[in-house]
């Protein structure tokens, strides 16, 4: 069995029959990764989370809202709306979300640690495929 068939549940590529693929997409999406890793430290209000993620990449309010709603629906993020004025909403990880975030963070750390190896592999790949200069 190949790795892709293990991930895809035996080669089934229909997302309706592989609902966990959607969760995998949510967890590993650009914004999903950043939200999960940021919430590992502590709960955040929406604006705090947007500022923290903004240090890495600019995220729109709409995109962050959609990401939080998706992760909340998947049971990874808890939304705590307090009935005060002005309204206060805190986002935190559920136990399930903490597990996912720890996995995502491990992959992120691995990527940071091995980036020089990846860059070297890219250079070797590009050099091997570069058109050879013709000798005159």
- Give me the pLDDT at residue 101, please: 98
Write down the pTM of the prediction.
Answer: 0.79
- Of 74, 61, 1, nearest to 31 by C-alpha is 61
Tens-place pLDDT, residues 70-105: 999 999 999 999 999 988 999 999 999 999 999 999
**Does a structural domain hold residue 71?**
yes
**Does a structural domain hold residue 133?**
no
Here the CATH number for the domain that contains residue 27 is 1.10.10.10
**Does a structural domain hold residue 78?**
yes
- Give me the pLDDT at residue 131, please: 82
**Does a structural domain hold residue 136?**
no
Domain tally, the chain: 1
- Give me the pLDDT at residue 2, please: 43
**Does a structural domain hold residue 117?**
yes
**Does a structural domain hold residue 135?**
no
**Does a structural domain hold residue 134?**
no
Residue 64 has pLDDT above 80, yes or no: yes
Tens-place pLDDT, residues 117-126: 999 999 999 9
**Does a structural domain hold residue 63?**
yes
Query: Exposed e or buried b for every residue in 32-50, given b needs 16+ CB within 10 A?
Result: bbbbbbbbeeeebebeebb
For residue 15, give its domain range.
Answer: 3-128
């Amino acid at each position: 069995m190949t790795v892709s068939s293990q991930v895809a549940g035996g080669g089934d590529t229909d997302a309706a029959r592989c609902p966990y693929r959607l969760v995998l997409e949510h967890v590993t999406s650009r914004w999903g990764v950043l939200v999960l890793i940021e919430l590992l430290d502590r709960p955040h209000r929406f604006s705090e989370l947007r500022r923290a993620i903004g240090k890495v990449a600019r995220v729109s309010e709409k995109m962050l809202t959609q990401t939080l709603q998706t992760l909340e629906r998947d049971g990874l993020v808890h939304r705590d709306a307090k009935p005060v004025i002005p309204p206060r909403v805190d986002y935190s990880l559920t136990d399930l979300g903490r597990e996912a975030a720890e996995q995502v963070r491990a992959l992120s750390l691995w990527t940071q640690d091995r980036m020089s190896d990846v860059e070297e592999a890219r250079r070797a790949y590009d050099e091997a495929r570069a058109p050879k200069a013709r000798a005159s």
